Amino acid sequence: MLRTMYSRRHHIPFFAVLLASACQMLGAAESTGRNGYNVRDYGATGDGKTLDSPAINRAIEAAAKAGGGTVVVTAGTYLSGSIRMKSNINLLIDAGATILGAPQKMNAYDETEPVTVAGSGFQDGGHTYFHNSLIWGENLKNVSITGNGMIHGGGLERNDDILNKLCGHDSWDNPEKASKEPFKPLRLGNKAIALKLCSNVLLRDVTIVHGGHFAILTTGCDNMTMDNLTIDTNRDGIDIDCCRNVTVSNCRVNSPGDDAICPKSTYALGRPVITENLTITNCQVSGFKEGTLLDGTMVPVKNGNGRIKFGTESSGGFRNCTVSNSTFRGCRGLALEEVDGGILENITISNLSMMDAQTYAIYIVTGSRNRTPGLKTVSRMKNILISNVVATGVDRVSGIQIAGLPEQPIEGLRLENIRLIGNGGGTREHAANVPMELGNGYPEPRQHNIMPAYGLFARHVKGLELANINVSFLKDDFRHAIQCVDVKGLEIDNFKARLAEGVVASKFENVPDPVIRNSPQLQQQAAGL
C-alpha cells in the first residue's frame, strides 16, 4: 500500500509533463488548423508594452502562405504599428483583446506610399495615403475583420496638415495650385482601418475607439458588408469612397468632430468613380463627447457633428443608394452634397428619427467647387425620395434646406411624411435674410447664414413635391414656415405649420403656377384671406 502511494506520488509529475507537452503540441497544431493562427504563437505578447505588430504580421503571412485562414488575436492588449492584411484572411479580434495604436514616436506605421502627380491635390492627405494606417490592405480579395474585441487608435493622428503638404493639397478651393515637387514618404499613422481596391470585404462586431482621421476608410472596394460595428471617435467614423455593392447595417457611430457615416466619391483613384448600390440601414449616429457613447454617459457637445452625409467629395457622384431605419442624436442630420461635377441620382431615404438636430435636419445642395481635374460637367441631382422623418430640437439655423445651382436645378425631389419641431427663436430680421449662393464654396448651412424660413427653404429646383409636411417650433419663431425661390413644378399636399402672431406661412419668389392641396394656411394666403 505504501509502495503504491509512493509510486503514484512520484509518477504524477512525469505524466503531467507528458500531458502538458501533448496539449502544447496539439495547441500549436490547432493554431495553424481549424482554430486559426494564434498571434501569440508567432511571438505576440499582448502586454500593451511590447510592439506586437511584427508578430501579428508574421501570423498573417503564415496564413496567407497556406492559402488563407483566421488569424486570432486573443485576450490582451497588443501595441501595434501597421498591420498588413492579405487576401483570404479573417483577422479575428477576440473578446477581451485590444489592438492599440502605437505612439507616433515609435515610427511603427508604414510609410506613405508613392502617389502620381496627376490628381494629387484634388483630395486631402487623408484620402491620398492608405499604408500609414493601423490596419490596411490594398488589391485584396476575401478580407474580413471580425470579433468582439477592440481597435483603439491610441497614438493615431487626427490632423491632416502634414499629409496635405506631402500630397500637394494646397487649399480647399484651389487644387490647381498643388505642388508638383516629388513627394517624400512619411510615417504618420492616421487611420484605424484603410482598405483600397479590395473585394468581398466583411467588417463585423468590432469596436473602434479614437480612430484618427478615419476609423474606417474604404476606397474603390466592391461587395462589402459592415455590420454591428461600434465606433466612438473624434473625426470620421465610416467613409465609403468610390465603392459599389455595399451594405452598412446595425452600426453605432459617435463622431462629435466630423461625419459619422460618409459616402464619398473622391479623385483618389486618379479618375472620377461613382459610389453606387449602397445600403445604410438600422444605424445610430451621434455627436456626443468622444468616449461617452461607450461608457453610456452620452455627454452633449456644442455643434456636435455626427450625421450621415453624402459628399463633400463628389467627383464621380452617387447612384442607387438607400438610407433607412436610422437614428440621429445630438448631431447634424442628413446631408446630400454634390459639388465636384458628379451626379447624385436614384436616392431613397426613409424612416429616420432625429433628436437635438444640430444646424439642420435635412441639407440638400449642389455647388461648383469642382475638385476634379479637366472637369466638363456641372454637378447634378435628380430622382430623390425622402420619407418618414421625425426631427425634434432642430437648430434655428436651418430646418430643411434645399439649394441647386441657377444653371442646373435639382430635379425630381419628393419629401413626404415629415414632422419637424424646431427650437425656434428666429426673428423678423432673420426672415429678411437672403442666403448667399454656394458657388464654389464649401457646403455648410452656417455659411449661408440663418435661413429666412424655419421649416423649409428651397431654391433652384425643378419638380419639387411636398406631401404631409408638419413643421412647428418650441419658442416663437417670426420667420415663414416655407420659402421657395426659383422653383418650377412645385406641388404641395397637406402642409401644416405653427406660426407666430402676424407671420404668414409662406414666401414664394419666381415659383410659377404652384399646385397646393389640403393646405389651408397656404391656400388662404394665396387667396389673400
**Could you give the C-alpha distances from 289 to 27, 140, 193, 296, 319, in angstroms and in order?**
43, 35, 22, 11, 33
Q: What whole-number percentage of the chain has pLDDT above 90? A: 80
Peptide bond into 312 cis (omega under 30): yes
Q: How far is residue 459's CA from residue 405's CA, in Å, rounded to a whole number?
A: 8
Phi, psi of 23 (to 5 degrees): -65, -40
Residue 462: exposed, middle, or buried by beta-carbon count in 10 A (0-12, 13-18, 19+)? middle
CATH architecture of 34-261: 3 Solenoid (2.160)
> Confidence class of residue 179 from pLDDT cuts 50, 70 and 90?
low
Q: How far is residue 165's CA from residue 207's CA, in Å, rounded to a whole number?
A: 31
Inform me whether the pLDDT recorded for 160 exceeds 80.
no
Q: How far is residue 477's CA from residue 430's CA, in Å, rounded to a whole number?
A: 10
Length of the chain: 529
Q: Which tens digits make up the pLDDT trace of 351-377?
A: 999 999 999 999 999 999 998 988 889
Q: Which tens digits make up the pLDDT trace of 470-480?
A: 999 999 999 99
H or E element that contains 60: helix 53-65
Report DSSP state, residue 250.
S
- Cα distance between the two ends of the chain: 114
Domain ranges of the chain: 34-261, 332-529
Lowest-pLDDT range of 4-18, 61-75, 411-425: 4-18
Residue partners of 190: CB distance under 8 A and separation at least 6: 126, 132, 133, 156, 157, 158, 160, 163, 212, 213, 214
Q: Which tens digits make up the pLDDT trace of 266-319?
A: 999 999 999 999 999 999 999 999 999 999 999 999 999 999 999 999 999 999
The secondary structure of the chain in percent helix, strand, coil, rounded to multiples of 5, reads 15, 45, 40
- List, in sequence order, every residue forming a beta bridge with 263; answer none if it has no partner: 240
* pLDDT (0 to 100) of residue 178: 52
CA 222 to chain CA centroid, nearest Å: 17
Inform me whether the pLDDT recorded for 396 exceeds 50.
yes
> Confidence class of residue 444 from pLDDT cuts 50, 70 and 90?
confident
**CA neighbours closer than 13 Å in the CB half-sphere of residue 164:** 15
Q: What is the 3-state secondary structure (H, E, C) of 32-44?
A: CECCEEEHHHHCC
Peptide bond into 219 cis (omega under 30): no
Identify which of 355, 439, 366 has the alpha carbon closest to the alpha carbon of residue 389. Answer: 355
Q: Which residue has the higher pLDDT, 379 or 26?
A: 379
Q: What is the mean pLDDT of the chain?
A: 91
- Using alpha carbons only, how large is the chain's radius of gyration in Å? 27
pTM: 0.91
> Confidence class of residue 529 from pLDDT cuts 50, 70 and 90?
low
Inform me whether the pLDDT recorded for 5 exceeds 90.
no
Inform me whether the pLDDT recorded for 12 exceeds 80.
no
**Taken in order 89, 125, 301, 155, is the CA torsion positive or negative?**
positive
Grid cell 409662406 in the structure block, residue: 506
* pLDDT (0 to 100) of residue 186: 86
Give the residue-averaged pLDDT of 69-86.
99
* pLDDT (0 to 100) of residue 445: 84
Give the residue-averaged pLDDT of 57-80.
98
H or E element that contains 118: none
Inform me whether the pLDDT recorded for 330 exceeds 60.
yes
- β-pairing, 259-264 vs 214-219, is unpaired
Inform me whether the pLDDT recorded for 6 exceeds 90.
no
Grid cell 425634434 in the structure block, residue: 392
Inform me whether the pLDDT recorded for 23 exceeds 70.
no
Which residue type sits at 17? V
Ranges assigned E (strand) in 339-396: 343-355, 362-366, 380-394
